[in-house]
Amino acid sequence: MAYIRELLYTIPAILIAITAHEFAHGYVSYRLGDPTPKREGRLTLNPFAHLDFWGTICLLLFRMGWAKPVRINTAYYKNRKKGIILVSLAGPCMNYLVGFLGMLLYGVFYQNGSSIMLWFYYLAVINIGLGTFNLIPLPPLDGSKVLQELIPGAGRFFAKIRRYAPLILVLCLVTGLLWTPINYVNTGILNGMWSLVKKILRIGIFPYRAGSSYL
């Protein structure tokens, strides 16, 4: 029952995280003049247009994963290098934004003592996990696209390993090789967001309810 309850929390949060991530990629590329994401139906909030099988499985099992990459045409960008970096960072940045909104709503319902607060916490954790994971510099993740624009020769290396990259990512997750550094980053981001939310909502500064003790 606990596992089923957890799935009921995580699956909607995963769909939101994936949709927000890929929509952001497509929207930024579209705003830079590229019609490809719109033409291929990726400027949508329908999560099933963005799902990648193995990436979704990893999200369900490890709270980290990836979605189906949005196809872009960099020939439409006025500044190709800048455009690729902006489009690549759009997905993780959107996940961090949704993660912060999740923490903010968690704080709101935390004050009210509502049990729905747990779902917003899952929403924050999954979005932050997806955002951080996608910044890893390994194809097909966004970090690799940023790195190959910043470091000459990185693109050639990624081209050689691209066909094996999803397997490498899955093995790194299964073996736990990535857990320590990613968890360290995610925990730092979550704690930072929670500290900011507490200041915004004045949690711990004013009474939880009239006549009750301070948090």
Say which residues have a Cβ less than 8 Å from residue 195's Cβ, sequence separation at least 6: none
Helix axes 142-150, 80-112, angle to 10 degrees: 140
Per-residue model confidence as pLDDT tens digits over 98-149:
999 999 999 999 988 888 899 999 999 999 999 999 999 988 899 999 999 9
Q: 3-state class of 111 per DSSP?
A: helix
Distance, in Å, from the CA atom of 123 to the CA atom of 215, rounded to the nearest integer, reads: 23
What band does 187 get if pLDDT is binned at 50, 70 and 90?
very high
Q: Which residues contact 105 (CB under 8 A, 6 or more apart)?
A: 117, 120, 123
- Round the average pLDDT of the chain to a whole number and report it: 87
- What pLDDT does residue 64 have? 66
Residue 99 belongs to what H/E stretch? helix 80-112
Structure confidence at residue 53 (pLDDT):
83
Query: Hey, how many other C-beta atoms are within 10 angstroms of the C-beta on 176?
Result: 10
Q: Which residue has the higher pLDDT, 109 or 53?
A: 109
pLDDT(19) > 70: yes
Helix (H, G, I), strand (E, B) or coil at 203: strand
Q: Which residues have C-beta within 8 Å of that of residue 184, sequence separation ≥ 6? A: none
pLDDT tens profile 76-98: 999 999 999 999 999 999 999 99
Instruction: Work out the pLDDT band at 213, boundaries 50, 70, 90.
Output: very low
Residue of 72, 74, 30, 23 lying closest to 50 (CA atoms): 23
